[in-house]
Structure 1
């Protein structure tokens, strides 16, 4: 009965299989009641509510008992032992704040030169949080840019990003807890997230489709559902891009980059 806390069940199953857990409770009159606590399909868990009473003096379902077809409200004993803890877990999940786990997060962008040469770059230092009411902020330390070539990293830090004046880029957003509440039961959902991206002191509002995944009670992932295009013209970086091009023999560099990310959040301490 994992949902009620009355024990622990672990199963390792092939992806195509299905599994379920049945809960049992008795009311003051001695009648047995059963509830399908949850079932899984393709490794996705679905919670089920509603109790049924066993017919006559039937034994538990595992012994071949038939169960009445009509569902009824759970007996009081079952409600107190099973339903309430699950509701409490859901409330706790959304009432606590979350902190970004840099070690399990990534933010990549792709540069395009000569029109056809694609190179993937990344930022190594991210920090962020989500407050209990859904206020979210992620800071990207621009000095942590990593392209695989040291001299190019230095040029991007000081010529393109101007880290002496603008050490961080920031992403701020407001997440509606009600709108994403289904992720607690369904484990995964797509959500159109309005964000404000600020680079070099210039802010731009964007709407980004993200995939929010509940990977456990202590781990949530927020990932881009598709690449997000970021243009140097939107953040005053045209001159810096021109200087980068000149430094490598006037090789043309596309002035926009697709950005992808996967951000891991753990409960705030």
Structure 2
């Protein structure tokens, strides 16, 4: 009888240990979530051939799945130029946020990059991404660095700007509308974009 009890207790402990290990494994391989407080997209506009202005979008959501599928949702109405009338014009005339409230970035990240990551390591790569903006989908390449932070965070940032042609996304008419309403000679159709995304594991 004592042997039977001991056997049952051993099996129970083994079962509970297995459950714990499975839970730890699931957590280690859980989705990475975007830390919206430490993530930002910046883009520059060049007007009259020589005047540059930096604009920011901070309202972002996203994740990287266990399979490496990365997705970022960009809330375009959160554009910030530090001038409210310009914010409103970009929302209504350029992005047309009433019809196209969000843009989306999709990419595939090598899962081994996260699985084997150690604090302080930096990886550089040309990351193919798909940008969906203003109802149009285009493939781009983003040169990025991936920094594994000592606290377990994953920081992804561009090493130099990604050049986005507004005409590729049907935004050239919006740029022309902005030029007219502001009384400018020109606004460049080529828009340099930089990004910084920070991902964290759920606790």
TM-score by length of 2: 0.82
- On the 8 A contact 1:224/1:260 being kept in 2, the answer is yes
Aligned residues between the structures: 179
Q: Aligned match of 1:110 in 44, 49, 61?
A: 44
Aligned twin of 1:100:
34
Aligned ranges for residues 1-269 of structure 1 at < 5 Å? 95-178=29-112, 183-184=117-118, 187-268=121-202
Task: Check the 8 A contact 1:183/1:213 in 2, yes or no.
Answer: no
Closer, same or farther: CA 162–245 of 1 in aligned 2, 3 Å: same
TM-score (norm 1): 0.63
Alpha carbons of 1:155 and 1:147: their partners in 2 closer, same or farther (altered >3 Å)? same
Q: 1:198 to 1:217 in 2, by over 3 A?
A: same
How far the C-alpha of 1:180 sits from its partner, in A, is 5.9
For the residue of structure 1 that corresponds to 2:160, the secondary structure is coil
Separation of aligned partners in 1, 2:129 and 2:28: 20
Aligned residue for 2:167, secondary structure, equals helix
* Distance (Å, rounded) in 2 between the aligned partners of 1:210 and 1:124: 19
What's the offset of the Cα at 1:96? 2.2
Closer/same/farther in 2, CA of residues 147 and 253 from structure 1, 3 Å limit: same
For residues 146-181 of structure 1, the C-alpha deviation after alignment (integer angstroms, 9 at most, x for no partner) is 011111110110110011111001000111113565
Contact 1:96 1:267 in 2 (8 A): yes
Match of 1:18 in 2: none
Compute the displacement of 1:257 (Å): 1.0
Q: Which structure has the larger Rg over C-alpha atoms? A: 1
Give how far 1:105 is off.
Answer: 1.1
Tell me the SS of whatever aligns to 1:184. coil
Structure 1 runs not aligned, ≥5 long: 1-90
- Structure 1 vs Structure 2 CA RMSD: 1.8
Query: SS at 2:179's partner residue?
Result: helix
Quick check: 2:131–2:138 contact (8 Å CA) kept in 1? yes
Which runs of no fewer than 5 residues in structure 2 stay unpaired?
A: 1-24
CA–CA distance in structure 2, aligned partners of residues 147 and 155 of structure 1: 10
> Retained in 1: the 8 A contact 2:71–2:107?
yes
